Amino acid sequence: MSTKYSKDHEWVVVEGGIATIGITNHAQEQLGDVVFIELPAIGKKVEKDAEAAVVESVKAASEVYAPVTGEVVEVNKELEGDPAMVNRSPEGDAWFMKVKLANPSELDGLMDKAAYDKFIAG
């Protein structure tokens, strides 16, 4: 499946009912050097558009919102030891969490790459 994007600058890729979620390259550019990441607990229920994680950079702390509703089934532990991975590979290795989708139709409200690029261009 293709990558979908939220207005809060998260990306989602869904495979077999599991959504892998991270922040976009645009988001990490706005944040600057990431120094700390707080990930949700495995088993936590996340709600669409509600806070799911926290990213702190040298500039600011920022919430990461869940672009979909579901249960956290995995988190990227590598980020805790190497938060700067978000700056190096925001839409690759530096995913934040994997969520078992509760409502796949929520994906319909997210943007594709072309729409997201247009959105960030203003």
Which of 27, 48, 39 has the alpha carbon at shortest distance from 116?
27
Query: Residues 48-69: pLDDT tens digits?
Result: 999 999 999 999 999 999 999 9
Q: Where are the domains of the chain?
A: 4-103
Stated pTM of the model: 0.96
Reported as a pLDDT band with limits 50, 70 and 90, residue 83 is very high
Two structure tokens written together for 60: 């600011």
Q: Hey, which CATH number is domain 4-103, 2.40.50.100, 3.40.50.300, 2.40.290.10, 2.40.40.20?
A: 2.40.50.100
Alpha carbon distance 75, 83 (integer Å): 13
